[in-house]
Every structure is written in C-alpha cells, then in structure tokens.
Amino acid sequence: MATPFPNIGAWYRLDAGEAFEVVAYDADDGTIEIQYFDGTVEEMDIEDWDAHGEERRLEEVEPPEDWSGSVDVDADIERGTRSSDDYEETRGLLAGPLEGLDMFE
C-alpha cells in the first residue's frame, strides 16, 4: 500500500491511533504540520511521513463529525440561539472573507 500524499485539510490515522488533520505542508523545508482534534499541533518531517508506508500503517480517514473540537466556537452561535440584539455584535464574526476590505482603502 502506498503512503498517501499529505493533503492540507485531509484527515489521517497512524496505526489505528488518534486521527489528525494536515494543516500545513512546506515542500521547501520538508515538513508537515498536523493538528489533532483536541488542538494539539505537531510537526513531522516528510521522511517520517513516507517511512510510515512500510513500517507503520498510515491511512486517510473521514473528518470527525464534531469539527468544532479544536476550534473556539461560541456554542450559542453554533446552535443559532443568540438574540437579534446580539446579531450586530457577532455579524463581523460570521461575515464572508472579503467583508470589511474596503476599510483598508
């Protein structure tokens, strides 16, 4: 079985252990940054990643259903139970990625 390429955003499991997500890959440095569901971040050399193909089992897995494990999300926003008075306060948090760019003109 060939070792899967470390795709950013993809989830993997090593030797049926705890699943982790690839959050960064630097081909120039030969490093892969991984993050576990609890938020723990580690760095791995590409040589270590590739070595798993023969010595250990590295497999791509589905992301966890509860994606908010390592993300700081306000539970009220997630459930949609905030009042309309709170909406204006949180609107900036929920806006699209280009929202507010005009303030830099």
Quick check: 87 and 74 in contact, CB under 8 A? no
Model confidence pLDDT, tens digit, residues 51-102: 755 566 788 999 988 755 555 545 444 455 555 455 445 455 545 556 665 6
Model confidence pLDDT, tens digit, residues 39-55: 999 999 988 887 755 56
Q: Give residue 17's pLDDT band: very low, low, confident or very high (50, 70, 90).
A: confident
Answer yes or no: pTM beyond 0.75. Answer: no
Which phi and psi angles does 9 have, rounded to 5°? 95, -15
Compute the distance between CA of residue 12 and CA of residue 50 in angstroms, rounded to an integer: 13
Element containing residue 87 per DSSP (H, E): helix 84-94
Q: What is the CA radius of gyration of the chain?
A: 19
Domain boundaries, the chain: 11-61, 72-96
